[in-house]
Amino acid sequence: MTDLSQTIAPKSDQLNADDLIGGPRTIKVTRVSSMREPDQPIAIYFEGDGGKPYKPGKSMRRVLVRVWGNDGTAYAGRRMTLYRDDSVQFGGVAVGGIRISHMSNIDENVTLPLTVTRASRKPFTVKPLAAERSPSPPVDRKAALMSAARGKAVLGTAELDGWLARLNTAQREAVREIETELRDIATDADDRPADLDGEAA
């Protein structure tokens, strides 16, 4: 896939609504800093921000305070999904802006009234963001191979030899470390008396 959205990102020192033309983006906050800009007093840095933090407008700052509280230092490690809202106006003109659709660390929807114009307010809802999935621990292939070898050995020499014959060279070399143990296990299995049904006791 050739992602064209990367070629239309505006040059700026902050995340812009145009950066989200390609679709919503879920970010993970790394830190929150105060700025000297009166209209954008807060910068939210996030993983992979490329030096372009999210600087929420007043409406989204109200959402953040309502949902996550006043302490910006507590935001680190939390996540939110940002999207472009084409209806956001500036100076009476729809120019598009960034809105928050989902946030982590909440269990249910949070709705609050936000100012649309000086004369009107509308309810705005933020939904819970599903928890991150922990990466699966790496599989210890050697340990799994050794466990499989011992499982075959307890079935007897014939079963063990048949299984060993199907291994590739690297696997065979790895199993060779415990071959004496495997042979002892297989021999003990061969020596076990059979029960009346002809199976090992």
pTM passes above 0.95? no
Q: Tell me if residue 92 falls in helix, strand or coil.
A: coil
Whether 128 contacts 108, CB under 8 Å: yes
Which of these, 83, 74, 62, lies nearest to 31 by C-alpha position? 74
Q: Round to whole Å and give the CA distance between 8 and 54.
A: 18
Q: Tell me if residue 42 falls in helix, strand or coil.
A: strand
Q: What is the pLDDT of residue 181?
A: 92
4-54 pLDDT, tens per residue?
Answer: 655 555 557 899 988 888 899 999 999 999 988 888 899 999 999 988 999
Q: Is the pLDDT confidence value at 199 over 80?
A: no
Distance of CA 122 to the CA centre of its chain: 33
Whether 44 contacts 30, CB under 8 Å: no
Number of H helices, E strands in the chain: 5, 8
Q: Round to whole Å and give the CA distance between 7 and 92.
A: 29
Provide the H-helix boundaries in 42-178.
58-68, 141-153, 157-165, 169-175
Put residue 70 in one of left, alpha, beta given phi > 0 → left and psi -120 to 50 → alpha. Answer: alpha
Q: Round to whole Å and give the CA distance between 41 and 55.
A: 8
Mean pLDDT on 86-91? 72
Percentage of the residues of the chain whose pLDDT score is greater than 70: 82
